[in-house]
A and B are shown apart, each in its own frame.
Chain A
């Protein structure tokens, strides 16, 4: 069965510092992987996705993620944090053939001035 683990429910960085949010998955088939961002009291917005092909995926707002099959990981990074990056981030993996997703529990990112 597929599952997603996000390490760290809260991550705090200083403005300008590297952002690293960790996601490990479990899947018996080649996975599709996603990162979504959620601002307070809003819906989720897709940041980036990996389906097939290049393992380094670039998304919106300067974020990128690398699919590492050997490590079953899909960590999200951004070289330089901005105050506007403060939000909750969710990693998701595809489940089954009907197009469903399984979400991790989320990581709340705080950015200090």
Chain B
């Protein structure tokens, strides 16, 4: 079955540690996105990538980094510079740049203590 997988579902880290969240898609989609979701805040865009080896900052990129070495994969690293990293992280993808409909993964809930 085609889809987007995010692993793990739940992730716990100590403050000061970097952590990488996985996002893989087998939909052959060109573009991929990372969003952060906090209660009552909706979804906020962290980073996005339209093609391999290229990505752009979203609205809240500070304290995060990404890579896009393969079309299928778009990992997100939450660095120790992110002041409030505890949140629900959602990965999404879509087809060529002219379309807008995004497909979402199941999310990873990150808790940093």
Contacts and interface: CB of A to CB of B under 8 A. Distances in A.
B106 A99 contact: no
B107 A105 contact: no
Contact of A44 (B9, B41, B45, B104): B104
Contacts of A32: 100
Interface residues of B, number: 32
Q: Is the interface of B mostly helix, strand, loop or mixed?
A: strand
Given A43-B107, A44-B90, A90-B42, A100 B101 contact: no
B101 A41 contact: no
Contacts, number: 60
Given A41-B109, A98-B97, A99-B98, A105 B104 contact: no
Given A32-B100, A42-B107, A104 B42 contact: yes
A105 B101 contact: no
A103 interface: yes
B18 interface: no
A90 B44 CA distance: 12
Nearest to B3: A43
Contacts of A14: none
A94 B101 CA distance: 9
Interface of A: 9, 32, 34, 36, 41-46, 49, 51, 90, 94, 97-101, 103-106
A-B interface, 5 closest residue pairs, ranked by CB to CB distance from nearest: A43-B104, A105-B42, A103-B43, A44-B104, A103-B42
Interface of B: 4, 6, 9, 31, 33, 35, 40-45, 48, 50, 56, 58, 88, 90, 92, 94, 97-107, 109
Given A34-B101, A41-B9, A100-B48, 15 more contacts: A32-B100, A43-B4, A43-B6, A43-B104, A44-B90, A44-B92, A44-B104, A45-B104, A98-B48, A98-B56, A99-B31, A99-B97, A103-B42, A105-B40, A105-B42
